[in-house]
């Protein structure tokens, strides 16, 4: 670690705020070594989900605000993006493996902001899902072709602009007919999702992933208990002579 004022001791008080401050300072000073160490310590201290939700993603948001108001240069913004992306890529290792349901993650054509798909995929994988990452600028017709062969349990498309989604409205409606589709990010809305037969994922990527994982478990449990009830009812009718002749 070099000459930043950042400290690696687990901060006391509000940990998210303190990690955020020290990390932002390392980034401002372009101190890559410090930023990497701070990211690692923050993840270890707060846990992956909370660190991504409360420190890393808000930091990215803030970096964008500081860039748009001229506090940070484009070079500083690119620097932090690269440091964060490298750490998120490391955390995503192995996320396509396992036996759980499959989610595909992509951005529509023209959209380069694929970074928020990482925390979403990382959290979902930790919730038992398998992740296939297509990332930025993905042709929707390619996804349709692939989904026709082997549909995933969910496709998530993220966009920072409404236009990025609305200009693909017809293709997206087609995609939602071959696989369950959800839209997310600043450019998505309930109204647009509804219009194309998709779902809208509100909120931050980590909380949305937790929501998807728990509602999928609930749906699966409901389906299993319905199956169980149907089997028990069939068994009961088979055991009752009157019912048997009625059924035959």
Distance, CA of 65 to CA of 29 (rounded, Å): 17
Give one DSSP letter per residue of 7-40, joined into a string: --SPPSSSHHHHHHHHHHHHHHTT-HHHHHHHHH
Kindly identify the residues of this chain, within the stretch 178-197, that bind ligand B12 according to CB under 6 A: 184-186
Beta strand pairing call for 199-201 and 181-184:
parallel
Decide if residue 59 touches ligand B12 (CB under 6 A). Answer: no
Decide if residue 111 touches ligand B12 (CB under 6 A). Answer: yes
Distance, CA of 198 to CA of 191 (rounded, Å): 10
Decide if residue 220 touches ligand B12 (CB under 6 A). Answer: no
Decide if residue 114 touches ligand B12 (CB under 6 A). Answer: yes
The SS3 assignment for 135 reads strand
Q: How many residues does the chain have?
A: 248
Decide if residue 64 touches ligand B12 (CB under 6 A). Answer: yes
Paired tokens of 203:
């909120």
Decide if residue 166 touches ligand B12 (CB under 6 A). Answer: no
State in angstroms the smallest separation of the CB of 75 from ligand B12.
11
Distance, CA of 98 to CA of 191 (rounded, Å): 34
- Report the candidate in 148, 139, 130 with the shortest Cα–Cα distance to residue 106: 139
Decide if residue 113 touches ligand B12 (CB under 6 A). Answer: yes
Decide if residue 65 touches ligand B12 (CB under 6 A). Answer: yes
Residue with the CB atom nearest ligand B12 in the bound state: 64
State in angstroms the smallest separation of the CB of 50 from ligand B12.
14
> Which of 68, 89, 237, 240 is in the footprint of ligand B12 by CB under 6 A?
68
Number of residues that bind ligand B12 (CB under 6 A): 31
- CA 82 vs. chain centroid, Å, equals 19
Decide if residue 103 touches ligand B12 (CB under 6 A). Answer: no
Decide if residue 57 touches ligand B12 (CB under 6 A). Answer: yes
Binding site for ligand B12 (CB under 6 A): 57, 60-61, 63-65, 68, 77-78, 81, 110-117, 120, 136, 156, 158, 160-161, 184-186, 201, 204-205, 208
């Amino acid at each position: 670690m070099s000459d930043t004022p950042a400290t690696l001791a687990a901060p006391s008080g509000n940990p998210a705020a303190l990690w955020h401050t020290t990390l932002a300072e390392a980034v401002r000073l372009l101190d890559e070594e410090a930023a990497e160490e701070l990211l690692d310590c923050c993840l270890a201290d707060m846990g992956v989900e909370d660190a991504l939700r409360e420190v890393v993603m808000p930091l990215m948001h803030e970096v964008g605000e500081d860039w748009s108001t001229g506090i940070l240069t484009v070079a500083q913004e690119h620097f932090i993006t690269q440091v964060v992306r490298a750490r998120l890529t490391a955390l995503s290792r192995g996320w396509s493996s396992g036996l759980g349901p499959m989610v595909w993650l992509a951005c529509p054509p023209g959209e380069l902001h694929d970074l928020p798909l990482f925390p979403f995929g990382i959290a979902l994988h930790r919730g038992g899902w398998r992740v296939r990452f297509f990332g930025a600028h993905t042709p929707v017709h390619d996804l349709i072709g692939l989904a026709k062969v082997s549909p995933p349990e969910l496709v998530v498309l993220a966009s920072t602009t409404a236009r990025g989604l609305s200009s693909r409205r017809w293709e997206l409606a087609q995609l939602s007919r071959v696989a369950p589709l959800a839209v997310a990010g600043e450019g998505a809305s309930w109204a647009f999702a509804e219009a194309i037969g998709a779902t809208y994922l509100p909120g931050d990527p980590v909380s949305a992933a937790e929501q998807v994982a728990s509602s999928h478990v609930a749906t699966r449990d409901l389906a299993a208990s319905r199956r169980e009830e149907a089997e028990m009812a069939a068994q009961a009718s088979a055991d009752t002579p009157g019912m048997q002749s009625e059924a035959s």
